[in-house]
Structure 1
Amino acid sequence: MDEREELLHEDLIFINYEAQSKEDLLKKLSQVLREKGYVKDSYTEGILQREVIYPTGLNTEAIKVAIPHTDAVHVNKSTILVAVLNNTVTFKEMGNGINDVDANLIFMLAIKNPNSQVATLSKLMSILSNKERLLSIYNSKTEKEVINVLSQVLN
C-alpha cells in the first residue's frame, strides 16, 4: 500500500464535530492524532504556533475551510484528519492573515515526508476549488462518504 492510500482513515473523519474556538479545535484534533500514534507530543504546539505565523483559513466558495498543518518533524505517520463542524470556527485567512474565515470544514494534515506535503496540499486545493465536491464532503452522512469523495482526488 502506498502512502497516499494510507492518508484517509474512517476513524479520523468526524461529522458534526463541536469546538468552542480555533485553539480548542486544534488541541482536541491534535490529541486524537497523538492518541492514535500519528503525531508526536510536540505536534499540538507546532500546529498552534504555525497557525499564528502562517494562517490556514480559506475563503472558499460555499463552504469555508481551514487546513491546519505543521512541520514534518512533529509527525510519526502521514494522515489527513477531516472534521465537518456543527458550528463555525474562526481562522485567519491564508495569505493575508488579516481577514477572518469562519470555517465549517477542517482538513488537518500530518505529513511525515516534507517533500510530499506540497503535493498533498496541491491535491487538496483541487478539491477546495470544486464547490460541488466541497459541498458533498460537507453534506456527507458517513465517514465512508467523505473518504470516497476525497480518495477520487488524493489517490
Structure 2
Amino acid sequence: MSNQILTKDNIVLHASFLNKEEAIRATGQILVEQGYVEPSYIEKMLEREELTSTYMGNFVAIPHGTEDAKKSVKCSGLSIIQVPHGVDFGDGNVVKVLIGIAGKDGEHLDILSQIAIVCSEEENIQRVVEASSADEIINLFSEVK
C-alpha cells in the first residue's frame, strides 16, 4: 500500500474504548487529523454503522462513510487502531482491529481488496493485535501485492 494512504501517524496501538461509537469516532478522527477527510465524515461513519454493521468477522471492523460521504473525502487514506482487549460491536462481536477507510475516486475498492487479503488470514489479524510498533503493521500491509 502507498505510504501516502497508510503512515505511522495513521496507526494507534494499545487503545481501549467504552463502546463502538467511541471507537468509530476515534478511527474517523485520525482520518480528519491526517487531512484525508472533512470532520463531517465521522458522522457519516456512524450513520453507516446504523445502516449495517461494519464488523467483518475475525475481530475486524472497517468503519467507513455512507455513499453520500464521498464529498467529504479529500484524498484516500486509512487509519488503523489496535484494541488488544477488544470493544463490543454488538451481537457478541468483539473488535480488536479497527480499519477506517476514506476512498477518493473509486480507490476504496482497491484499498478494500488489499485489506481483505490481509484480514482473511487469522494469523495476520493476530500480528496486528500483538504488534508493538506502527512499523510492524505498515510492513504487514505493504507485503500485500
Same fold (TM over 0.5): yes
Per-residue CA deviations over 1:41-99 (Å, capped at 9, x if unaligned) read: 21111000011112111222xxx11000114222112111110014321225xxxxxx4
Equivalent position of 1:118 in the other structure: 109
Distance 1:28 1:87 in 2: 16
Secondary structure in 2 matching 1:17: coil
For 1:1-155, list aligned pairs within 5 A.
4-60=2-58, 64-70=59-65, 71-92=69-90, 99-113=91-105, 115-153=106-144
TM-score (norm 1): 0.83
Q: CA RMSD in A?
A: 1.7
Distance 2:3 2:24 in 1: 24
Change (3 A) 1:35 1:120: closer
Count of aligned pairs: 142
Per-residue CA deviations over 1:104-132 (Å, capped at 9, x if unaligned) read: 1111111122x221221122111111122
Q: Unmatched 5+ residue regions in structure 1?
A: 93-98
Deviation at 1:136, TM superposition (A): 1.4
1:58–1:101 Cα contact (<8 Å) kept? no
Deviation at 1:28, TM superposition (A): 2.5
Per-residue CA deviations over 1:131-154 (Å, capped at 9, x if unaligned) read: 22221122111011110001111x
TM-score (norm 2): 0.88
Distance 1:31 1:129 in 2: 26
Q: Unmatched 5+ residue regions in structure 2?
A: none
Identity across the alignment (%): 27
